[in-house]
Structure 1
Amino acid sequence: MSTKTDKKKLVLFDGSSLAFRSFYAIHNIDSFVNKNGMHTNALFAFHGMMSKILEKEQPTHALVAWDAGKTTFRTEFFGEYKGGRQSTPSEFREQMPFFNVLLDAFGVSHYELTNYEADDIIGTLAMSVDPEEYDVVIISGDKDLTQLARDNVRVDITKKGVSELQSYTPASIQEDMGITPDQIIDMKGLMGDSSDNYPGVTGIGEKTALKLLHEYGSVENLYDQIDDMKKSKRKENLINDKENAILSKKLARIETDAPVEKTIADIPYKGKNVEALMNFYKDMNFNTFMSNLLADSDQADLLTQDWADVNYTYVASVDELKADYFPTASKADGYAFYAENLSKNYHDSDIVQVAWTNGEDIFVGPADLLQADSFKDFLGNAAIAKVVFDAKRTMVMLDYVDVAFAGVVDDVLIGSYLLTARDNSNDLAEVAREFDIEDLSYDESVYGKGAKRGVPEDAAVMHDHLARKIHVMARLQAAIRPQLEANQMDDLYQEMELPLALVLAKLEILGITVDKSQLEAMQVEFQGILDGLEQDIYKEAGHEFNVNSPKQLGVILFEEMGLPVIKKTKTGYSTAQDVLEKLAGEAPIIDLILNYRQLSKLQSTYVEGLQDYIHEDGKIHSRFQQTLTSTGRLSSADPNLQNIPIRSEEGRAIRKAFVPSQDDWVIFSSDYSQIELRVLAHISGDEHMQAAFNNHEDIHTSTAMKVYGVTEDQVTPNMRRNAKAVNFGIVYGISDYGLSQNLNISRPEAKKFIDTYLENYPGVQAYMKDVVEQAKEDGYVETLFKRRRYLPDLHAKNFNVRSFAERNAMNTPIQGTAADIIKIAMVRMDQALKDAGLQANLLLQIHDELVFEAPKSEIDDLEKLVTQIMGEAAQLDVPLEVESNYGATWYEAK
């Protein structure tokens, strides 16, 4: 017999329950989208949960059990079993095929059994092992599984999302409820289960069910003694609902003898498959997880190989530089140059080493070399062609050390991004692997990660790494340029993306001035409002409580105040944003809480958060990421200035802190009006939509008239709001679930709304069908400017994966073309400002808006120039309209 310390451990996961809870654990799902536009929030949360549990439990055996489908042996004797559940949101369905991909990479077995639920697989396996030999841990979001608790079986139930667990053992169940695990089945028989849609006895909840079990022990004993029970409404209900009680107990019982084909010998925990995990992380854009994996020294060794030597010269000081170390004449394919720094945010870190080639030899040395006249002449000479990795980053870093940079002919990061539409911006090794060049280590395997990141103890390791980068960049240039030309992307590359990188570099170097005192005053003001809201909430509640505690808030709203329950979770009442929005107007406390949450987020994320990013020059220097999104849109980071909320007055007020850098200057803002809908009108050729824009009608009012079948004077603000939601929803491939959430309507209503919309815009409907068919034939979709997005999943056998790819085929040409148009406008505006001799500076790009600063005396000229350049950036069948405003702050300009 094994001793306790020798026992093996079996961990069983209720995959269906945990995956579903993972989806709802992250509310802002649109922040979790991979390079292909697929939502990844459920996979992200599920991954975190699995990692944490596997690390904590250290199982010898593990399995994730899945429900096999809606029909089980339970539906055979109760057709309504689980019948009240809504259909699965498409945003969740598209992720479902990838859970098992992740599990395979984790080395965890998975299994489903026709006609049975995941619970039954878990119950059967948990009871099949020798309790003297195995400890069992069950992980689920469903408290029904606590009936399986035994001396050797612990059941952990999720409390908050999937990040917190509460453990149940026979002792804890007895202490908490005064019953045994087996009696949980009796409790469910009496109270029923609304989530599984079985009835129980009318009027009996958990509290009453427990009271009856304390007295009678089981459902059967209760009915054996029911004649002795005092006459009451409860007794009447028990008698009338006896069949329901017996049926509900039967439905609640987890099968422990299901025909499970897996045995304990089939499910050893194998541990991580590093290569498979890396591929999964890459596909999902889980960059942090990828970094963590690489930072693990054991794993890093697996990904770093002993490559063939690359010969290079190390130049230790300026005195060692020689004239022939630098090229003196240009050549078409360029000379590679690379500046290394060890931080993602290059505005806050220094260059540590540089590497370059003169066309024949490779050289590596410290950043001090940049101050040599010969080095400055090389870098600043526009006639000497240069190949770089991330031209924008390179130009910004060199500017910080007062070194001019010109002559970029190729950026292998941008070129790779255009060909693959993948985010490889963190590491040259990632780009190289896209082109089957594998003789370069990942940066994190050389420099480490997080607090441990730094120059390796053996500096020669870094020198060798940088020399390899120069060697790889030259090979990448030779591989990328012919492919760009073959794909008709050369104009996109040469005339849009490469010049834009230099425009963005200038924009980042310049930064935008921020009045910190304004933010500090706002912080005090907001805190006063928050304190007042807190007191008003206490007054409505009748007592003080933790406003930030969903559990405490749920008790107050739904038990103490008796508000209608919108959604229950396994641990209580949901007080999520969408729930509270549905309750708006039901009681004053709801609006108070919504206001409190909104203001609290503004305070922490922006009013306080932005202050941390103000540099010594009084400016914020955000990074504009050019090679991140699959549609071509720019994104902003450190901080993200594109996400400052503008729907509330408090959110808009944050823009008051953004001011011109000079006295007697103003902030000038120019914004494309509904550019994505105008692109849709052009691409689809829809006559109704084009007519609305060409006649300068309000497109949302026009849509409302068509969808609701009313005249213009009958369109209400709410009708226009709904029309606006579906107009922009179509552009982003919105589902009926997404629209229902946006408008707080049912999914059938949302579906009908979308169907009616498409009937009234037949050109749009035809475009959506035609673009998918063409993409299936070509394998990709294109913008008007030949930017490609490959969609291999259009031929996937799995319906959800295929449907998601189809939505991307529909919306990528629209979003991507709109992104291309404003990029063209930025490049042309940069040149136009020089040609016109204006002092105005471009400061920011916020999606469809360009923000400038300019002397007041230039405003008229600037407005004419911007309107012309932005309006003529593309020739569409409908006009590109530009709206401009200016003021003393960004707030006044917008």
Structure 2
Amino acid sequence: MAKKLFLLDAYALIFRAYYALIRNPRITSKGINTNAQFGFTNTLFDLINKEKPSHMAVCFDVEGVTERHTDFADYKANRQETPEDLTAAIPFIKKIIEGFNIPVIGVAGYEADDVIGTLAWQAHDAGYDVYMVTPDKDYGQLVRDGIFIYKPGYQGGDVEIMGPKEVCAKWDIERVEQVVDILGLMGDAVDNIPGIAGVGEKTAAKLLKEYGNVETILENADKIKGALGEKVRNGKDSAILSKKLARIITSAPVEFHEEQFCLKEWNKPALIEVFTELEFKTLGKRILGEEFNVFQTAPQGVQTDLFGNVVEQSQNDKAKAKTPKEEATAATEEPSGFGADKNIHNTPHTYILADTEEKITALVKELAAQQEICFDTETTGIDANDAELVGLSFAYKPFEAYYVPCPADGQATKKILSLFAPLFDAENITWIGQNVKYDMLILKWYGIEIKGGIYDTMLAHYVIEPEGRRSMDLLSAQYLGYEPVHIEELIGKKGKNQGNMRDVAIEKIKDYAAEDADITLQLKHALHPGLQEKAVERVFYEVENPLVKVLTDMEFEGIRIDQAFLADYSRQLEHDARLAEENVYAGAGVKFNLSSPKQLGEVLFEKLKLDPKAKKTKTGQYATGEDVLLKLSHTNPIVADILVYRELTKLKSTYVDALPLLVNRKTGRVHTSYAQAVAVTGRLSSNNPNLQNIPIRTDRGREIRKAFIPRDEQHILMSADYSQIELRIVAAISGDPNMCEAFRSGTDIHTATAAKVYNIATGEVTKEMRYKAKSVNFGIIYGQGAFGLADNLGISRAEAKEIIDNYKKEFNGITKYMDDTINFAREHGYVQTLMGRKRWLRDINSSNFTVRGFAERNAINSPIQGTAADMIKLAMIKIHAAMKKEKLKSKMLLQVHDELVFDALKEEMDTLKPLILENMKAALPLPNDVPVEAEVGFGVNWLEAH
């Protein structure tokens, strides 16, 4: 086997991993941010698994002064403080590396790149191929034949391996030794290496082409004409110092010993321990396989049941058993997190099978005396609109539950369900469930609607802790220290109900299903105090919980789509995309793979030379994203054709061809699934199809809405939409007098803004002024500065700055709101909506300004977006109740952003329209008398209605 040494630049990879997940952090049940640990472990395992190195080491910087700091006191002086979460991650990462039996190396007085440079050259001399694993460009100076930079893929990108040829091409130099000369001339802002003021990368490369290195350039400084010559002469000392600072030392006091660096057997117990603490459940199993089983097992004990069946309990289990009081205390202690040590095998319980009419009748009688009942359904699939009921489980006391099997015979199941009808009809019973909407939807297909209240443990956790994951397994581990039975233990497959549950022995299903009900009941008791402690009871009881029944009805109804229209539109899009593709090839003068960003970049920037300053991605390819192409659209007609091609092919594959595949075989309609507990702001999300992403910004995209149609000729689609709701909320909660007055007087807000910003009368506002003001209105509250506004509007930064400065002057209440909100968050650790929905901001006081800035933007945005989310949810609840009260046959079908879509019976339109408008406007009154407005439209399809 070839001798391959991989040397990892630890901190470069760790920082990269941390920031890659900063928008969606991984937080454990104990509040540990594991972004860095997770990302680094993935990179390390992928390297070992895919590249098959024979030798490896991970190199760290060691705290203390280096020679570079002695030479230049400001070396790396402008670096931000390391984020606190990242600092806390380092001990875990070192444990992980040691668990893989890989040496951790650091040398006092030297940086990691010096250690890597020294080891790389030593190993290369010993006959090794060496790969320096880092995203750091400075390592190019070390590359030789047999020594490479290995840049791991970033956020789904490809790995990039750079040898001498690639390094020289990247820097536009002749020899890799010139990398250090480039850095000496241009400096390095990351490390605060000054270079020569005013000399950038391209100028540095040009000078090196002529003179070869820094020293020769300085010797010939008098021959360099104009301003550049003056810069070089003035920057002589700085260039010499900068080259020294940039040079990686290859003589550090460290030696490459083959045996020390050879990959060995992993220390699996050590890896299990650290993966358990970090809650790397899936990743742990991916790396360690079935050996990653952190849960202890013991023989299962049994109890007595209400039917008089007595099963003896072993003496061992009796000795381990806790009293109910002890169990209740244990459930509320510090959560044990992923390392749960309790499970069905070592925890006393009573799980009872009710499989006869006599037993079911006795169970119903027992349940009828309860005020709260936890229930769960077992089914044949994960799509509630296309699944059959396999069984029901019930619990009302911890550690005790009942399972009622339902046969494949639909009539027999309906008979069983009829026995439970008095319970489901009882308005005084509250039904507890984890994602109870799924179970209610299953029952609805059997003609059963729950009349009583509901309590969803998933939603309780969501309002308590909006970020993070909330599967029952994770919540059970966190709050109960308990590991539930996994479905794959029953059916041998991953994912709930993916196998055929009807083939599983009823005794096994009984334990699995009854345990679900039991654990969910216990979760309710464990979570409930948190609602009061976090002061989120109002948003739970008035918004999230009542919305479940509304969404159940909406998902059950679904919406009809026009499949013939979609088929025609698909053919049209295919034809138009082909024409656009041919136009691109004609404009390029060459055929290539238009779907390949690499080939496209080469055509646009090397063959056509559309942008001499074209940017490249981290993988070394030219950037060809939509933002890049839009800026180039005026330079060559080919760019417009590329954008058209991309839009058409995406519309066709993502929506037009995909929608007919989602039609339910039973109903002939599309039934989207709404998720309440995903978006941290409170917004609903949807999938299969994702309605939030149905395009609306282009004519071709909007055309897709024509495919959504009423159920029959007696119905018409009705669309109700809030008007500028987020801006109204901004005005209301900031109390800015100018903005509030604009809304109260009915003035167009963007026109009013333009008039204030440009200091003119509203009648003098031009279309262009209004457009710019609109961009400021929506941008400034989301952290957009002069650079972003200039880029968005295509104006100079100076003009953008002037617009923003005028905006802040005229609407100083907005600025005060932003400042006050950030200060509140710093003091309290959270922000909240008008309904009390909270967003916890653990990084709001971080010493790292990038991390802190992200939290500050969330502090400003979340109360606005969250209040808008609360408002439309409240509107849905009120409208749903009003429609039921009026006994209307019309149905609410869809919710998309600030819009609601209805299947309106034509004869009910005169009743329905005012009912909708009244409840939308009154759903959540805004402070400072800012009015809420909504509009209603009708049509034979969604596009016409909207």
TM-score class, shorter-chain normalisation, is: 0.7 to 0.9
For 2:176, give the aligned amino acid. I
Question: Counterpart of 1:648?
Answer: 698
Measured after TM superposition, the shift of residue 515 of structure 1 is 1.0
| SS in structure 2 at match of 1:138 | strand
Pick one of 587, 599, 603 that aligns with 2:652. Answer: 603
In 1, distance between residues paired with 2:523 and 2:9? 45
Measured after TM superposition, the shift of residue 77 of structure 1 is 8.3
In 2, distance between residues paired with 1:320 and 1:443? 29
Structure 1: tracts of 5 or more residues without a match:
none
| SS in structure 2 at match of 1:794 | coil
Question: Counterpart of 1:11?
Answer: 7
Q: Is residue 2:414 matched to residue 1:366? A: no
Question: Counterpart of 1:257?
Answer: 251
1:444-490 C-alpha deviation (Å, 9 max, x unpaired): 67765269964697875553333332222222333334443455544
1:269-312 C-alpha deviation (Å, 9 max, x unpaired): 87895676677689xxxx9x669759943324455745333433
Structure 2: tracts of 5 or more residues without a match:
189-194, 296-338
Evaluate the alpha carbon distance shift between residue 66 and residue 340 of structure 1 in structure 2; reply closer, same or farther with a 3 A threshold: farther
Pick one of 600, 616, 633 that aligns with 1:568. Answer: 616
Pick one of 515, 527, 531 that aligns with 2:578. Answer: 531
For 1:862, give the aligned amino acid. L
Q: Any conservation in 1 of the 2:752–2:762 contact (CA below 8 Å)? A: yes
For 1:338, give the aligned amino acid. D
Q: Is residue 2:519 matched to residue 1:472? A: yes
Measured after TM superposition, the shift of residue 56 of structure 1 is 2.0
Q: Any conservation in 2 of the 1:653–1:891 contact (CA below 8 Å)? A: yes
| SS in structure 2 at match of 1:573 | coil
Measured after TM superposition, the shift of residue 379 of structure 1 is 5.2
For 1:449, give the aligned amino acid. K
Evaluate the alpha carbon distance shift between residue 297 and residue 304 of structure 1 in structure 2; reply closer, same or farther with a 3 A threshold: farther
Measured after TM superposition, the shift of residue 377 of structure 1 is 2.0
For 2:558, give the aligned amino acid. G
Measured after TM superposition, the shift of residue 579 of structure 1 is 1.6
Evaluate the alpha carbon distance shift between residue 206 and residue 762 of structure 1 in structure 2; reply closer, same or farther with a 3 A threshold: closer
Evaluate the alpha carbon distance shift between residue 424 and residue 165 of structure 1 in structure 2; reply closer, same or farther with a 3 A threshold: closer
Measured after TM superposition, the shift of residue 48 of structure 1 is 5.8
In 1, distance between residues paired with 2:736 and 2:887? 42
In 2, distance between residues paired with 1:622 and 1:112? 54
Q: Is residue 2:150 matched to residue 1:156? A: yes
Evaluate the alpha carbon distance shift between residue 417 and residue 200 of structure 1 in structure 2; reply closer, same or farther with a 3 A threshold: closer
Question: Counterpart of 1:884?
Answer: 936
Total equivalences in the alignment: 856
Evaluate the alpha carbon distance shift between residue 697 and residue 862 of structure 1 in structure 2; reply closer, same or farther with a 3 A threshold: same
1:729-768 C-alpha deviation (Å, 9 max, x unpaired): 3444556676566445677876665554333322222222
For 2:702, give the aligned amino acid. R
For 2:401, give the aligned amino acid. I
| Range with bigger deviation, 517-526 or 805-814 | 805-814
Question: Counterpart of 1:338?
Answer: 376
Question: Counterpart of 1:63?
Answer: 58
In 2, distance between residues paired with 1:95 and 1:581? 38
| Range with bigger deviation, 366-375 or 760-769 | 366-375
In 1, distance between residues paired with 2:876 and 2:52? 54
For 2:614, give the aligned amino acid. I
| SS in structure 2 at match of 1:463 | helix
Evaluate the alpha carbon distance shift between residue 350 and residue 232 of structure 1 in structure 2; reply closer, same or farther with a 3 A threshold: same
Pick one of 177, 180, 183 that aligns with 1:185. Answer: 177
Evaluate the alpha carbon distance shift between residue 789 and residue 146 of structure 1 in structure 2; reply closer, same or farther with a 3 A threshold: closer
1:786-829 C-alpha deviation (Å, 9 max, x unpaired): 22233333344444333333332322222211111111110110
Q: Any conservation in 1 of the 2:830–2:841 contact (CA below 8 Å)? A: yes
Q: Is residue 2:635 matched to residue 1:578? A: no
Question: Counterpart of 1:53?
Answer: 47
Measured after TM superposition, the shift of residue 637 of structure 1 is 1.4
For 2:393, give the aligned amino acid. A
Evaluate the alpha carbon distance shift between residue 678 and residue 190 of structure 1 in structure 2; reply closer, same or farther with a 3 A threshold: closer
Measured after TM superposition, the shift of residue 655 of structure 1 is 0.4
Question: Counterpart of 1:540?
Answer: 587
Question: Counterpart of 1:549?
Answer: 596
Evaluate the alpha carbon distance shift between residue 192 and residue 800 of structure 1 in structure 2; reply closer, same or farther with a 3 A threshold: closer
1:874-894 C-alpha deviation (Å, 9 max, x unpaired): 222200000111100001011
| SS in structure 2 at match of 1:164 | coil
In 2, distance between residues paired with 1:868 and 1:451? 42
Q: Any conservation in 1 of the 2:550–2:880 contact (CA below 8 Å)? A: yes
Question: Counterpart of 1:612?
Answer: 661
| SS in structure 1 at match of 2:844 | helix
In 2, distance between residues paired with 1:202 and 1:416? 54
In 2, distance between residues paired with 1:578 and 1:94? 33
Question: Counterpart of 1:394?
Answer: 439
For 2:663, give the aligned amino acid. I
Evaluate the alpha carbon distance shift between residue 723 and residue 54 of structure 1 in structure 2; reply closer, same or farther with a 3 A threshold: farther
In 1, distance between residues paired with 2:162 and 2:156? 16
Q: Is residue 2:479 matched to residue 1:435? A: yes
In 2, distance between residues paired with 1:771 and 1:261? 55
Measured after TM superposition, the shift of residue 715 of structure 1 is 3.5
In 2, distance between residues paired with 1:221 and 1:359? 83
Question: Counterpart of 2:312?
Answer: none
Equivalences for residues 727-746 of structure 1 within 5 A? 727-734=777-784, 742-743=792-793
| Range with bigger deviation, 823-832 or 48-57 | 48-57
1:206-233 C-alpha deviation (Å, 9 max, x unpaired): 9996xx99xxxx869999xx9xxxx999
In 2, distance between residues paired with 1:749 and 1:33? 37
In 2, distance between residues paired with 1:294 and 1:695? 63
Question: Counterpart of 2:868?
Answer: 818
Measured after TM superposition, the shift of residue 189 of structure 1 is 4.5
| SS in structure 1 at match of 2:643 | helix
| Range with bigger deviation, 628-637 or 307-316 | 307-316
For 1:522, give the aligned amino acid. Y
Q: Is residue 2:347 matched to residue 1:309? A: yes
1:611-655 C-alpha deviation (Å, 9 max, x unpaired): 221212221111110112222111111221111110001111010
| Range with bigger deviation, 654-663 or 55-64 | 55-64
| SS in structure 1 at match of 2:482 | coil
Pick one of 896, 919, 923 that aligns with 1:869. Answer: 919
Evaluate the alpha carbon distance shift between residue 452 and residue 335 of structure 1 in structure 2; reply closer, same or farther with a 3 A threshold: closer
1:213-264 C-alpha deviation (Å, 9 max, x unpaired): 9xxxx869999xx9xxxx999xx99xx9998999997677433235899999
Measured after TM superposition, the shift of residue 673 of structure 1 is 0.8
Evaluate the alpha carbon distance shift between residue 17 and residue 747 of structure 1 in structure 2; reply closer, same or farther with a 3 A threshold: farther
Question: Counterpart of 2:314?
Answer: none
In 2, distance between residues paired with 1:345 and 1:101? 43
Equivalences for residues 75-90 of structure 1 within 5 A? none
Q: Any conservation in 2 of the 1:294–1:300 contact (CA below 8 Å)? A: no
Equivalences for residues 427-826 of structure 1 within 5 A? 427-438=471-482, 440=484, 448-449=493-494, 454=499, 462-485=509-532, 487-564=534-611, 565-569=613-617, 571-616=620-665, 617-734=667-784, 742-743=792-793, 754-826=804-876
1:105-153 C-alpha deviation (Å, 9 max, x unpaired): 8548989999987644532343466965976422234565354346774
Measured after TM superposition, the shift of residue 604 of structure 1 is 1.6
In 2, distance between residues paired with 1:799 and 1:261? 38
Evaluate the alpha carbon distance shift between residue 294 and residue 859 of structure 1 in structure 2; reply closer, same or farther with a 3 A threshold: farther
CA RMSD across the alignment: 5.1
| SS in structure 2 at match of 1:527 | helix
| SS in structure 2 at match of 1:544 | coil
Q: Percent identity?
A: 34
| SS in structure 1 at match of 2:924 | coil
Evaluate the alpha carbon distance shift between residue 327 and residue 64 of structure 1 in structure 2; reply closer, same or farther with a 3 A threshold: farther
Question: Counterpart of 1:325?
Answer: 363
Evaluate the alpha carbon distance shift between residue 502 and residue 808 of structure 1 in structure 2; reply closer, same or farther with a 3 A threshold: same
Q: Any conservation in 2 of the 1:424–1:627 contact (CA below 8 Å)? A: no
